[in-house]
Structure 1
């Protein structure tokens, strides 16, 4: 399997893909900044790409303060989607169908890392897990949990090479025909949307300057 290393233009963030069937495939490490210590995020092999993209899109947003659609509390999107605390004395929130669990370790005084775990049900092995360090910006974790609660279906190609459904009682499949031109257009629209975020709006020209009044004398 290929290994990939991607670094941000300022060399502060490094995204590493190291395929490991028993560990986290995607790892992002961010260097310390003046107002924040170093932090990390990692994603297991089967983490849906839509969730990873939501995280990286929020990371690369050049105007995060203007992204009002993303809450600052990672738990807020889950509460709005009827996630509930676990029945047995642990912290965090569980999805209504019991297949996903979001937990933050530590205490209110000393909060720890975030863990997002997906499984096929209680007492079953995880299918994938995402981890965020205690210093990872909350808005990035919230972007991930917002995407996690998105009710829209995840589009996948239907072929002999597709990943099999691990449990047909948990995952619902629906087949539809999509023209290749529409798939290409969707990718192009995404690229344009991300590029548009970095377009600097033109500055509004100020009123033209008036020439200084000349002093005149009348006789």
Structure 2
């Protein structure tokens, strides 16, 4: 009886709710947990080429795209490279370490699914959520609070590229992301969609950047709830993989519904 009580007590302790914060706007939330990106790639059958003590590296099943994270290189952060193929020029994306993982995942998740046949409009999700056109030579969209931007950068000399970023209250660089002009438009659209998404992202206590423009809501979350959300995200990755594989045969892929949990209260 005593052993059962001890096990029950240990389980209760493990499941004790912890304090997190729901953060908006998401582009100011800080980097987050890298596994949000990497475990989705793993569930999508990407090969983990990482070495102990070295950078994180994932390779696509056809070996044409690599996603790497290294905080010690210059530039530090995420580097995503694609080889030239018969249907696509080589391209590269570089995202600094403090790009929120939910925004990185918008881009990297899209690497695992076929592109749409429709012509993408990368500005549409920004316009839909109140981003305004900027002034100047370069085509630019600026977030409603003025702290983030997306720009199609066309210098008089040099490389044409997509450039996005966020800045602190003091105007300092919070993060930057650049994409070569050859980056497929559906991937840039996936990035801008994730960037403009008004839904908050969750960060642990002590991991919210000190910025007066950030709005937070305190939430109490148990470890098993976080684990359930993670499992659900990986299930979505596997379902997308199955759907892509079976589409040619007319089979029906399983439907996965998002799991939600947690009790929130306004932060005082």
**What range is the shorter-chain TM-score in?**
0.7 to 0.9
Going from structure 1 to structure 2, the CA distance change for 1:105 and 1:88 (only over 3 Å counts) comes to closer
Deviation sequence 1:83-126 (CA, Å, 0-9, x none)? 1122456531111100001101128xxx92100010125x7111
1:16 aligns with 2:59: no
CA distance, structure 2, for counterparts of residue 51 and residue 141 of structure 1: 11
1:118 aligns with 2:169: no
1:181 aligns with 2:224: yes
Counterpart among 52, 69, 75 of residue 104 in structure 2: 52
CA distance, structure 2, for counterparts of residue 201 and residue 128 of structure 1: 38
1:80 aligns with 2:128: yes
Going from structure 1 to structure 2, the CA distance change for 1:113 and 1:88 (only over 3 Å counts) comes to closer
Aligned to 1:97: 145
Deviation sequence 1:1-22 (CA, Å, 0-9, x none)? 7412221121111112111487
Range moving further from structure 2, 9-18 or 46-55: 9-18
Which structure is higher in RCO with an 8 Å CA cutoff and minimum separation 6? 2
CA distance, structure 1, for counterparts of residue 248 and residue 135 of structure 2: 54
Segments of 5+ residues of structure 1 without an aligned counterpart are: 206-219
1:128 aligns with 2:175: yes
Deviation of the 1:23 alpha carbon = 3.0
Going from structure 1 to structure 2, the CA distance change for 1:38 and 1:89 (only over 3 Å counts) comes to closer
Deviation sequence 1:126-179 (CA, Å, 0-9, x none)? 100111110000110111111111111111111xxx335232x11122211012
Going from structure 1 to structure 2, the CA distance change for 1:84 and 1:186 (only over 3 Å counts) comes to same
TM-score, L = length of structure 1: 0.79
Paired residue secondary structure (2:63): coil
Aligned to 1:137: 184
CA distance, structure 2, for counterparts of residue 34 and residue 133 of structure 1: 18
Output the aligned Cα RMSD: 2.5
Pick the structure with more strand per residue. Answer: 2
* Larger Rg over CA atoms: 1
Pick the structure with more helix per residue. Answer: 2
Deviation sequence 1:175-207 (CA, Å, 0-9, x none)? 1101211111111111111101121158469xx
Contact 1:120 1:170 in 2 (8 A): no
CA distance, structure 2, for counterparts of residue 103 and residue 202 of structure 1: 38
Going from structure 1 to structure 2, the CA distance change for 1:24 and 1:85 (only over 3 Å counts) comes to farther
